[in-house]
Structure 1
């Protein structure tokens, strides 16, 4: 798999999110306490979260590692869309676990998306999706304003999947 299809690699970690892209920020409570952080962190970085939300994931490794490659696909039959990605960064920290992937050639979008669980001081486990993207394929451009709606729906679906996994 080739390099990334956008120049702002790492912006979901370092910020700010770049101009000329659609921005997505979604945060939801997924659990409470260290055990829940460990559970959802493993689900995020081991692809279980995506699979529990209905995506297919084919990855070069069992868990997210910087530089690793994967494809994520959604849909069914002729309406299945495949998205080649490369892991940009990972966080395996005491109170923060997650990763970001960026788009690779052949992805219908251009940009980056991060998935992070954090343990707050009050014991709440929060899941945050941060992304910037713009259409790359003709069909993504054709879908226009529907794409951000679908991205928000998928971010909520990921949070729901993590709540179920933590429970």
Structure 2
């Protein structure tokens, strides 16, 4: 894992820290909710939880990941998406992790200055009572720079497509374990 060099405590670029955990999602943002079944049983849950918490799920999509530690509150993360001149790096900070070990795994990160959007996104794996393993992405965001404002309604479409891609990659990672 490539580490970031920290220049002090980061400041989130939005005021609604933790809203993906406590809900309802705040007004004034685009809301995203995607949930997909990724497997069955404790082994699938453990494998999926480890893939999410280590950022391996993100890497499986072709994204580059730099983090200054594991997915725990306060960890700074930069996700690189795209190729060549169309590559963007999105800085974030892990703002919460679930407090139900054995049933929920994952994290949420919030945007930092320099991110093209402003908001928060959570990535959770749940082991349901019936043994099914679910992956859920919940987010709220709004444009923070000119090009995401210009892209308008295309950004939520791309975010939903990326959430679906994460689910497919996580399903494969869980099945391979």
TM-score range, shorter chain: over 0.9
| Number of aligned residues | 166
Match of 1:91, SS state, is coil
Q: Does 1:77 align with 2:84?
A: yes
State the distance in 2 between where 1:118 and 1:45 align.
Answer: 13
Q: Deviations over 1:43-84 (max 9, x none)?
A: 0000000000121110001x2010110101100000001100
Cα deviation code 1:76-101 (max 9, x no counterpart): 00000110000000126111001000
Q: Per-residue displacement from partner, 1:12-46 (whole Å, max 9, x unpaired)?
A: 00111000000000000011000100000000000
Which among 139, 144, 149 is matched to residue 136 of structure 1?
144
TM-score normalised over the length of structure 2: 0.92
Q: State the match for 1:9 in structure 2.
A: 17
Structure with greater strand share of residues:
1
Runs of 4+ in 1 over 2 A off after TM superposition: none
Q: TM-score, normalised by structure 1?
A: 0.97
CA RMSD of aligned residues (A): 0.8
Partner of 2:123: 115
Report the equivalent of 2:74: 67
Structure 1 residues not aligned, in runs of 5+:
none
Aligned-partner Cα distance in 2 for 1:99–1:113: 9
Structure-1 separation of matches of 2:90 and 2:12: 12
Q: Distance in 2 between matches of 1:55 and 1:155?
A: 13
Structure 2 residue runs without a partner (length 5+):
1-6
